[in-house]
Amino acid sequence: MNAIEVRGLRKSYGANHAVAGVDLAVGEGEVFALLGPNGAGKTTTTEILEGHRDRDGGEVAVLGVDPATAGRRWRADIGIVLQTATDAADLTVRETISQFAGYYPDPRGVDEVIDVCGLTAKAGARISSLSGGQRRRVDVALGIIGRPRLLFLDEPTTGFDPEVRRQFWDLVRSLAEEGTTILLTTHYLDEAEALADRLAVIAAGRIVAEGTPRTVGGRDRAPATVSWVDAGGPHELRTTDPVRAVTELAARGRISQLQVRQPSLEDVYLDLIGAKA
Ligand SMILES: Nc1ncnc2c1ncn2[C@@H]1O[C@H](COP(=O)(O)OP(=O)(O)OP(=O)(O)O)[C@@H](O)[C@H]1O
């Protein structure tokens, strides 16, 4: 059974077809990234999967259950880290996490979660005194405290400094190793590349490409860019056979600053969403 199975999902707000026929399958234990520009329909899609928004059409099964009719047991298997930060309460980090732990039948240890989320030094601090990135880590802690089988991460590292982002990636990897299925929404393509087994690019409510970070949108078959400088100045060549291009260049004599660049995930992504001519 797939952890997530979606067919023909549709959701409109008036005349705005925010989700216009999305098909999606995420296997158990997979880390799957949903990419797309602002307003593409990612949040609408994930909120339907989380059971937080109703849909106009299509079939949806999350952990084998339709989220529109799912009950408390299903909810205990789902972890959610939303875009909005935790409300600034007067409770401390430890108190907040302990309180949430009480909502679940088989929670992780509070101190273990505080530790893996890098919050040990702040465990006794009030939530209202935390920085934006620290609060975000509390959001993540609350998302994983219930030991979810499926974790939704909606732009989880926004506001993280580079070091904390790397720690967070390690945390996601260790959750994935434990078998947690993860649906990640992100605008950071390096994050998708580092974490996702597979990804889908969504634009204007439709999936425009799906694959692994290496192959999506024909990335593995796309032309490479060879650039160099010679007596005539800088040059650039797009070719599907960079080895041959480099061999020919080398035979020609004096060149410098030779570079061969395969298209990055960002290049492919921008092409897919029509951001480049
Ligand atoms: N509650 C709502 N009422 C009306 N329109 C909405 C509502 N929520 C979303 N929309 C519209 O639906 C479309 C998809 O929005 P959605 O939030 O799903 O996009 P997104 O891909 O998550 O964007 P972002 O990257 O900015 O978070 C947008 O055009 C948005 O304006």
Q: Does 208 lie in the same domain as 235?
A: no
Domain harbouring 20, CATH code: 3.40.50.300
Q: In angstroms, rounded to a whole number, what is the distance separating the alpha carbons of residues 210 and 4? A: 15
Q: Does 42 lie in the same domain as 9?
A: yes
Q: What total number of domains does the chain contain?
A: 2
Provide the pLDDT for residue 277: 43
Provide the pLDDT for residue 83: 65
Quick: pLDDT tens for 199-234. 999 999 999 999 999 999 999 888 999 999 998 999
Residue 266 CA, distance from chain mean position: 14
Q: What is the DSSP letter of 92?
A: B
Question: How long is the chain?
Answer: 277
87 pLDDT above the threshold of 70: no
Full domain range(s) for residue 65: 1-29+38-72+181-221+264-277
- On whether the CB atoms of residues 81 and 184 are closer than 8 A, the answer is no
Q: Does 236 lie in the same domain as 204?
A: no
Evaluate: CB of 186 within 6 angstroms of ligand 1: no
The answer to whether residue 231 sits within a structural domain is yes
The answer to whether residue 186 sits within a structural domain is yes
What's the order of all strands across the beta sheet hosting 233-239?
233-239, 224-230, 256-261
Q: Does 213 lie in the same domain as 188?
A: yes
What would the DSSP string read from start to end of 123-141? TTSBGGGS-HHHHHHHHHH
Q: Does 205 lie in the same domain as 251?
A: no
85 pLDDT above the threshold of 60: no
Residue 115 φ then ψ, to 5°: -70, -50
Q: What integer best gives the mean pLDDT of the chain?
A: 92
The answer to whether residue 84 sits within a structural domain is no
pLDDT confidence of 88, banded at 50, 70, 90? Answer: low
41 CA to middle of ligand 1, Å?
A: 6
Quick: pLDDT tens for 22-72. 999 999 999 999 999 999 999 999 999 999 999 999 999 999 999 999 998
Q: In angstroms, rounded to a whole number, what is the distance separating the alpha carbons of residues 25 and 19? A: 16
Provide the pLDDT for residue 204: 94
Q: In angstroms, rounded to a whole number, what is the distance separating the alpha carbons of residues 59 and 171? A: 32
Q: Classify strands 233-239 and 150-154 as parallel, antiparallel or unpaired.
A: unpaired
Provide the pLDDT for residue 264: 92
Angle subtended by helix axes 162-177 and 132-144, to nearest 10: 0
Quick: pLDDT tens for 89-114. 789 999 999 999 998 989 999 999 99
Handedness of CA 90, 91, 97, 103 (dihedral sign): negative
82 pLDDT above the threshold of 80: no
Q: Does 211 lie in the same domain as 196?
A: yes
Evaluate: CB of 54 within 6 angstroms of ligand 1: no
105 CA to middle of ligand 1, Å?
A: 33
The model carries a pTM of 0.88
Provide the pLDDT for residue 36: 95
Q: Does 269 lie in the same domain as 257?
A: no
Within 10 angstroms of residue 252's Cβ, the number of other Cβ atoms is 9
Provide the pLDDT for residue 168: 87
Evaluate: CB of 16 within 6 angstroms of ligand 1: yes
- In which region does residue 253 sit, left (phi positive, over 0), alpha (psi from -120 to 50) or beta (all else)? left
Nearest residue (by CA) to ligand 1, atom 11, is 18
Evaluate: CB of 18 within 6 angstroms of ligand 1: yes
Q: Does 55 lie in the same domain as 18?
A: yes
Q: What percent of the chain has pLDDT over 90?
A: 74
